[in-house]
Structure 1
Amino acid sequence: MPITGVYFIPAHPNASTALGNITERLRSSFPDEDLIQLGRWTLEQKLMRDTPGLLPASSGPNQRPSKPRYMQFLSLSHYHNHGFIYTSEPAEQPFNIPNASSPSPAATPVAPGSANDSTTTSNTSSMLMTTVPHSSYTTLFQHFTYACQPFWCHRLTVVVQNGVFYDIGDFRVRLGDVRQTYPTNRVRGTVVEIEWRGPSVIDSLDGAVVSDVNGETDSGVDVSLSVLEESDVDAEFAATALLIREFWGRVGVEGAREAILVPGIGSEVKERLVKIKGARNNRGGLSGSAEDNPDPQAGADVARQYMEVLRFNR
């Protein structure tokens, strides 16, 4: 569960991208580090947008125009077990029957943790993240493309086909050119993912709970994790964001869009923390998911960042 930041540098359709410039800046800005290519990575994102309603729009003076809703499908080669789906959360109930007798919001009981619980649903986050097994990822997209055409429209597809990554000190840097392949082929720009690989409290969550093969009840949770709270996770993300911004500032490439502390960031880590504490309270190990995908939520935070900078609305 690394902490990352993502930057996107747009490019004109007929101009060269910033990829070569960024690579040279990395070499010159960190002369004490050998810039050795460690491997390649790929990305594919498909953006869908809702279509206008079938009913005529209300012309009332107090009727606000509805905001567009988006659904994004993202595949990252460094999280090859599953794909990511990021969709707009409905702002209101789809049907509102006039003059219907219903209890007032103040009198309506709300179960803790439900969708209507204001303490768990942030007003700043209007997108919902989920993951699906990679074997079902393409099939699900085809379902929305063909079966849900009246409601969702495939707007564009962008890819990073030959991305590279380097380790520079306590950071891992992934970069690559973003090319649009649908509906037309064109260059969109360059994307850079900066991952902090130095010491972090969050690192203690990885593998903190291991199920014993003999069914023993010892969860193996470090005692220090019992005092780790969600506020500590937020503080860790905020502190690491400063390190990532300082790193990017040394590179000195202007005109980039930044996605670090985006809405919903840290949810992956907080969900993991809740599971660990639950396993500790139950005095049992936290069993993984399927053997081929031990952590189905891995990469959800960085996926949010990619989808923020690659949601080209125009």
Structure 2
Amino acid sequence: MPHTGVFFIPSSPNAPNIVGLLTERLRSVYSDEAIPIGRWVLEHKLMRDTPSCLPASAHAPNPAPKPRYVQFLSMTNYPKVGFIYASENVDGENPKTKTTTESGMIMSTVPNASSTEIFRHFVRCCEPIWCHRHSVSVTGAVYEVGDFRVRLGEVRQMQPHARPRGTIMEIEWKGPSMIAAALSTSFLDHDGSQIGNEMDIDGGIDSDMETPYIPTEAQIQLEYEQVSHLIKEFWTCIYNSNDSNNNKQLSAAAVQEAILIPDVGREVKQKIAQRRQPGWQEREKRRRKKRREAIALDRSWGGFSEKQQQQQDEEEEDIEGDVDLARQYMELFRFNR
């Protein structure tokens, strides 16, 4: 479950090479600690409902309907998962109707192939109702800097017209996390030794198991706030570096940030809340016991083979943290269109 912060610098007509400046500052501030580890690519598509032809006064005394969006996001660091961020279905004619989320948007995760097909369906069959406003892509490099992982790249609009839109920097905290420990699937045996993998048949089916410490919602929120301060300090150290040659060029740029945005941590808090419910530990122990028995008898579990089930578990373990990162990108890439 990563803690991340995303910073976006919009492009201007006479903008310098912001990617190059930030890369130079990253290496100058952290010198040998900034280790390049690869490349990354991101793609974002925005759909918006077709605006009404009626003026706002035609909806009086009710307010004019707000625009609705459907956003699609894919990242090479999560190649199997596609993210869909859609406006809630709220009746604009009824002012008493309220959204169930703070942001008014609902996040869904689907296989990447399904996300691509859903977008094609919108373009082919829903064009009179929904219009494709724009598509942007990001290509950049990934750096390891101590307890941080930095992704830096240039944002370019591909549709409807190709043009640069700015620079993006994602800062991910890789250090210790109480939330990550609480979401871990590892359990402890009765003697305190860890049963490293729930697929371990030799781990003792009837061994006593205990759950890790489950933080309260206030503690979860406190960790989000504390890590956000660390990420902002990291960004400030790079952005406001004492560089006499390039300081004026960066200081004039308006930076948009997305860290503690609405609904951040929503899925994480829900999953941890389930672990605080009475009887969760017993239900989890029974589930693990049945899975070990099925594997020992060389049977599939839930329609999956052992290898397929392991792959599914690995994807599910990261999905809650991924949606927070996807929200941050989508809030920035909407561009108020």
Is the structural similarity TM-score above 0.5? yes
Q: Which residue of 1 aligns with 2:159?
A: 182
Q: Which residue of 2 aligns with 1:282?
A: 283
What is the number of equivalent residue pairs in this alignment?
288
Note the alpha carbon deviations across 1:43-91, whole angstroms, 9 max, x for none: 0000011112488866254232221111100001111121000011133
Question: Is the CA contact 2:66–2:92 (under 8 Å) kept in the aligned structure 1?
Answer: no
- Taking the aligned partners of 1:281 and 1:58, their CA distance within structure 2 comes to 59
> Within the alignment, does 1:198 sit opposite 2:197 as a pair?
no
Question: Is the CA contact 2:64–2:92 (under 8 Å) kept in the aligned structure 1?
Answer: no
SS at structure 1 position matched to 2:64 = coil
The amino acid that maps onto 1:282 is: R
Question: With CA pairs under 8 Å and 6+ residues apart, which has the higher RCO, 1 or 2?
Answer: 1
What is the correspondence of 1:104-115 to structure 2 with a 5 Å cutoff?
A: none
The amino acid that maps onto 1:125 is: S
Q: Which residue of 2 aligns with 1:35?
A: 34
Q: Which residue of 2 aligns with 1:50?
A: 49
- Taking the aligned partners of 2:80 and 2:274, their CA distance within structure 1 comes to 21
Q: List alignment gaps of at least 5 residues for structure 2.
A: 188-196, 241-249, 292-301, 303-307
The amino acid that maps onto 2:120 is: Q
| RMSD, aligned α-carbons | 2.9
- Taking the aligned partners of 1:218 and 1:212, their CA distance within structure 2 comes to 14
Question: Is the CA contact 1:45–1:74 (under 8 Å) kept in the aligned structure 2?
Answer: yes
Change (3 A) 1:36 1:292: same
Picking from 230, 237, 248, the partner of 2:217 is: 230
Question: Is the CA contact 1:257–1:309 (under 8 Å) kept in the aligned structure 2?
Answer: yes
Q: Which residue of 2 aligns with 1:82?
A: 81
SS at structure 2 position matched to 1:198 = coil
Q: List alignment gaps of at least 5 residues for structure 1.
A: 97-104, 106-114
Q: How far off is 1:234 after superposition?
A: 1.2
Picking from 125, 138, 156, the partner of 1:147 is: 125
- Taking the aligned partners of 2:151 and 2:124, their CA distance within structure 1 comes to 34
Q: Which residue of 2 aligns with 1:293?
A: 312
- Taking the aligned partners of 2:207 and 2:51, their CA distance within structure 1 comes to 55
Higher helix share: 2
Note the alpha carbon deviations across 1:154-193, whole angstroms, 9 max, x for none: 00000013x1111112111001001111111000111100
- Taking the aligned partners of 2:49 and 2:39, their CA distance within structure 1 comes to 34
Q: How far off is 1:221 after superposition?
A: 5.2
Question: Is the CA contact 1:10–1:188 (under 8 Å) kept in the aligned structure 2?
Answer: yes
Note the alpha carbon deviations across 1:25-57, whole angstroms, 9 max, x for none: 1122224x4322111111000001111248886
Change (3 A) 1:256 1:54: closer
Q: How far off is 1:136 after superposition?
A: 1.0
Q: How far off is 1:229 after superposition?
A: 2.0
Q: Which residue of 1 aligns with 2:68?
A: 69
Q: Which residue of 1 aligns with 2:141?
A: 164
Change (3 A) 1:309 1:17: farther
Change (3 A) 1:166 1:281: same
- Taking the aligned partners of 2:208 and 2:23, their CA distance within structure 1 comes to 45
The amino acid that maps onto 2:283 is: N
Question: Is the CA contact 1:208–1:220 (under 8 Å) kept in the aligned structure 2?
Answer: no
SS at structure 1 position matched to 2:22 = helix
Q: Which residue of 2 aligns with 1:307?
A: 330
The amino acid that maps onto 1:175 is: L
Question: Is the CA contact 1:45–1:159 (under 8 Å) kept in the aligned structure 2?
Answer: yes
- Taking the aligned partners of 1:219 and 1:2, their CA distance within structure 2 comes to 30
TM-score by length of 1: 0.81
**Highest Rg: 1 or 2?**
2
- Taking the aligned partners of 1:217 and 1:248, their CA distance within structure 2 comes to 49
Q: Which residue of 2 aligns with 1:242?
A: 229
- Taking the aligned partners of 2:107 and 2:234, their CA distance within structure 1 comes to 28
Change (3 A) 1:170 1:53: same
> Within the alignment, does 1:129 sit opposite 2:94 as a pair?
no
Q: Which residue of 2 aligns with 1:10?
A: 10
Q: Percent identity?
A: 44
TM-score by length of 2: 0.76
- Taking the aligned partners of 1:259 and 1:293, their CA distance within structure 2 comes to 29
Question: Is the CA contact 1:175–1:193 (under 8 Å) kept in the aligned structure 2?
Answer: yes
The amino acid that maps onto 1:199 is: P
